[in-house]
């Protein structure tokens, strides 16, 4: 492939579409350069935002051999309840499991508690005569006559999407396959999905919720992906289009259109994958990934060099959310970002988020029609953002409008100064965001104080030191180009397929030969899938895990098991690994208690070639004079108010340079705030390593 000058081009393009900004990272494989672009997200036509970001990066689709994409459309469709008109077809007698759920009451003393609301109303849930037992044996054949009656009703009800869930289809999917073929032929143009394609684990409520969610978001997400495919074709893109899964791995766009639910957390997952690579490069085996963008803040964990995963997530929160039973990175999220709106509650209390100004109309300071103050407006008023340097000067902010909005809606009603109001907004946002970090550490039996925090996203470096103080974290690491870090994470992601099979067996009577056959079946399928995706990758690598519990327990934990334990038929090593995970999660284990296997898991990875970025030139302890961009007043209440803080150009800093706070380090898409007493050093990879000054 050549550009207009005849020079050979080999570009990888990664696009991360967020609620406020679209980030584009382009890796030039021939020149070993990383090109970056950022543009406001265009909700009505996402591809326009991607195109604008690509143009700012100085690249074109027809120059690329790989396009990687992560988006929030799947999760937003679920949370906004803006999906398709969906029907659920299930085994007779199980129509209401989707609504009954687990009958749990997370807030036992909340008189106003509301249970989850299904995505499919009861009138659109249909029962059919069929039955397969837990051993996979057919007890009652599928009634095609009843399927025909249901199809006529679906036509009359203008159904757009059909979810199929039959009992024990994880063991034998024959009836689901037959029903799917029937509806696809009988109702052309409808989106049809079956539960066994997404989850082959037991628990009928979770599987019902998963397939219903996939059907609900399927038409919108598949239409979105097809639209991007059409645009790529029009732009003469000659390469491969891959989508980021919630596991952080990549899968083919055609597969993504059928299994949309696997891309729920595609953007945030890429940031955690980037954090894992950063940890490997700097020689640390654990870190907290903290991602703050314009709409939300997200967090995940790297432990022992690996990303912490989960097999079951509550979408919409634990109290009222709906479960999704697929492998995914354990990412927790809160509706606090740079665009989060600050308002006074009924009793005069200051609240920040979860409502967001998004990209349209955006924060007041964007001068695009926003009228309510946001976290970004507060940072501008406090001097932490420079009005004339935002996005490298491409977008000028309006500090007067931001100040007036905070004064009118917050400061005057509370009889406090504008600075106090702005700092209150930022501090409340930081306290809220610290809760999301606790959910991925404390709730897993981990102590956040034992982890450095890698902060990224456009707003992450602005608030990282505040969040670290809330949690008593000692070290914060800001990677190069933090505003594009999730897009960069896509560039270092690998092809990946995940499989799980329910298999109840006591560990004491484990049949290693039978277990090996199950693993090899899953691994062979994964190897075929990975090999079928275009692109250079090495020999597929498979990892294995078991879902285990003590005999008599209801719920299991996932335990990564070394292949040597299976090769050596070492049940004691498997039990010891389970005991360690159980201790970490719950604080105790029972070495003498019998354990059992619930499910077996396999992950197959096809490694793509990774970008190798150059090391930063070495410098002295003092930054070079050309790195200084002056100073400006910044409000720090710990110093009694306004303080003259030096400002530094990050692109001119060298490895070994040190800066002591208060100070601001500015770059194209982000600003890092060093509070008074914080100490920062630039490492050889260009990371800003900040030691937090705690009281």
Which stretches of the chain score pLDDT less than 70? 1-9, 31, 532-538, 695
Task: For domain 11-77+223-263, give the fold.
Answer: Nucleotidyltransferase; domain 5 (3.30.420)
**pLDDT at position 536, please?**
52
DSSP 408: I
Q: Beta partners for 600?
A: 501, 546
**pLDDT at position 3, please?**
41
Q: Tell me the CB-side half-sphere exposure of residue 51, using CA atoms within 13 A.
A: 12
Domain locations in the chain as residue ranges: 11-77+223-263, 80-222, 266-493, 495-606, 631-691
- Compute the distance between CA of residue 668 and CA of residue 616 in angstroms, rounded to an integer: 18
Q: Beta partners for 27?
A: 12, 34
* Omega of the bond leading into 354 within 30 degrees of 0 (cis): yes
The 3-state secondary structure of 513-530, one letter per residue: HHHHHHHHHHHHHHHHHH
Helix, strand, or coil (residue 151) = helix
Least Cα distance to 1 among 26, 30, 25 occurs for 30
Using CA atoms, how far residue 379 sits from 94, 173, 374, 526, in Å, is 52, 55, 9, 47
Cα dihedral 425→431→435→441 (10° resolution)? 140
Pairing type for strands 138-140 and 191-194 reads unpaired
Using CA atoms, how far residue 26 sits from 228, 543, 615, in Å, is 17, 30, 18
The 3-state secondary structure of 366-382, one letter per residue: HCCCCCCCEHHHHHHHC
Domains 266-493 and 495-606 belong to one CATH topology? no
Q: Beta partners for 342?
A: 352
**pLDDT at position 180, please?**
97
Q: Does 3.30.1490 match the CATH number of domain 495-606?
A: yes
Q: CATH assignment of 266-493, given 3.40.50, 3.30.1490, 2.70.98, 3.30.420?
A: 3.30.420
Q: pTM higher than 0.85 for the full model?
A: yes
**pLDDT at position 636, please?**
94
Helix (H) or strand (E) holding 577: helix 571-586
DSSP 532-547: TS-S-B-S-EEEEEEE
**pLDDT at position 538, please?**
63
Least Cα distance to 675 among 684, 685, 662, 689 occurs for 662
**pLDDT at position 9, please?**
57
Kindly provide the residue ranges of all beta strands, DSSP E only, lying in 174-257, ordered along the sequence: 191-194, 240-244, 250-252
List the structure tokens of 82.
């803006």
List the structure tokens of 128.
């059919």
List the structure tokens of 517.
């056959």
Q: Are 338 and 20 in contact (CB under 8 A)?
A: yes
């Amino acid at each position: 492939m050549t550009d207009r000058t005849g020079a050979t081009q080999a570009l990888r393009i990664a696009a991360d579409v967020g609620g406020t900004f679209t980030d584009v990272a382009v890796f030039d494989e021939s020149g070993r350069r990383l090109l970056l672009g950022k543009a406001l997200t265009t909700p009505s036509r996402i591809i326009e935002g991607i195109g604008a970001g690509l143009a700012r990066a100085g690249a074109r689709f027809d120059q690329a051999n790989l396009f990687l994409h992560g988006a929030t459309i799947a999760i937003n469709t679920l949370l906004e309840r803006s999906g398709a008109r969906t029907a659920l077809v299930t085994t007779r007698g199980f129509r209401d499991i989707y609504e009954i759920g687990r009958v749990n009451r997370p807030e036992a003393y909340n008189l106003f508690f509301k249970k989850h609301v299904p995505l499919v109303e009861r009138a659109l849930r249909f029962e059919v005569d069929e039955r397969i037992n837990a051993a996979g044996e057919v007890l009652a054949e599928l009634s095609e006559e009843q399927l025909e009656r249901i199809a006529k009703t679906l036509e009359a009800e203008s159904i757009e999407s059909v979810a199929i869930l039959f009992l024990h289809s994880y063991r034998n999917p024959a009836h689901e396959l037959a029903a799917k073929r029937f509806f696809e032929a009988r109702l052309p143009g409808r989106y049809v999905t079956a539960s066994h394609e997404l989850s082959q684990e037991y628990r009928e409520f979770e599987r019902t919720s998963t397939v219903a969610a996939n059907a609900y978001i399927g038409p919108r997400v598949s239409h979105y992906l097809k639209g991007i495919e059409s645009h790529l074709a029009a732009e003469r893109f000659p390469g491969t289009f891959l989508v980021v899964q919630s596991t952080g791995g990549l899968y083919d766009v055609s597969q993504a259109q059928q299994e949309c639910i696997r891309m729920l957390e595609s953007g945030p997952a890429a940031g955690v994958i980037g954090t894992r690579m950063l940890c490997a490069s700097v020689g640390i085996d654990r870190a907290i990934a903290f991602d703050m963008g314009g709409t939300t803040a997200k967090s995940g964990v790297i432990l022992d060099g690996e990303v912490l995963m989960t097999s079951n997530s509550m979408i919409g929160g634990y109290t009222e959310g709906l479960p999704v039973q697929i492998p995914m990175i354990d990412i927790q999220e809160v509706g606090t970002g740079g665009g989060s709106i600050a308002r006074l509650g009924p009793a005069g209390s200051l609240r920040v988020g979860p409502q967001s100004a998004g990209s349209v109309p955006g924060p007041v300071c964007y001068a695009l029609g926003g009228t309510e103050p946001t976290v970004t407006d507060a940072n501008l008023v406090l001097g932490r953002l420079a009005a004339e340097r935002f996005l490298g000067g491409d977008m000028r902010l309006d500090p007067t409008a931001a100040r007036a909005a905070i004064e009118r809606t917050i400061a005057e009603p509370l009889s406090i100064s504008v600075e106090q109001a702005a700092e209150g907004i930022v501090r409340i946002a930081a306290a809220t965001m610290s809760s999301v970090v606790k959910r991925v550490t404390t709730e897993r039996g981990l102590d956040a104080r034992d982890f450095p925090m890698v902060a990224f996203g456009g707003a992450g470096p602005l608030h990282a030191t505040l969040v670290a103080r809330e949690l008593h974290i000692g070290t914060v690491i800001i990677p190069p180009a933090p505003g594009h870090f999730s897009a960069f994470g896509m560039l270092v992601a690998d092809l990946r397929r995940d499989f799980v099979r329910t298999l109840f067996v006591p560990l004491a009577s484990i049949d290693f030969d039978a277990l090996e056959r199950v693993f090899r079946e899953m691994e062979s399928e994964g190897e075929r899938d990975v090999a079928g995706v275009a692109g250079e990758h090495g020999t597929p690598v498979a990892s294995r895990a078991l879902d285990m519990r003590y005999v008599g327990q209801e719920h299991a934990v996932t335990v990564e098991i070394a292949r040597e334990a299976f090769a050596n038929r070492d049940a004691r090593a498997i039990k010891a690994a389970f005991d360690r995970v159980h201790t970490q999660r719950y604080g105790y284990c029972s070495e003498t208690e019998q354990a059992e296997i619930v499910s077996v898991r396999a992950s197959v990875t096809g490694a793509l070639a990774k970008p190798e970025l150059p090391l930063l030139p070495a410098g002295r302890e003092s930054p070079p004079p050309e790195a200084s961009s002056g100073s400006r007043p910044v409000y720090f209440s710990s110093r009694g108010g306004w303080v003259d803080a030096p400002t530094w150009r990050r692109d001119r800093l060298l490895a070994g340079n040190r800066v002591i706070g208060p100070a601001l380090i500015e770059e194209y898409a982000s600003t890092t705030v060093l509070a008074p007493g914080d100490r920062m050093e630039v490492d050889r990879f260009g990371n800003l390593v900040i030691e937090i000054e705690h009281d």
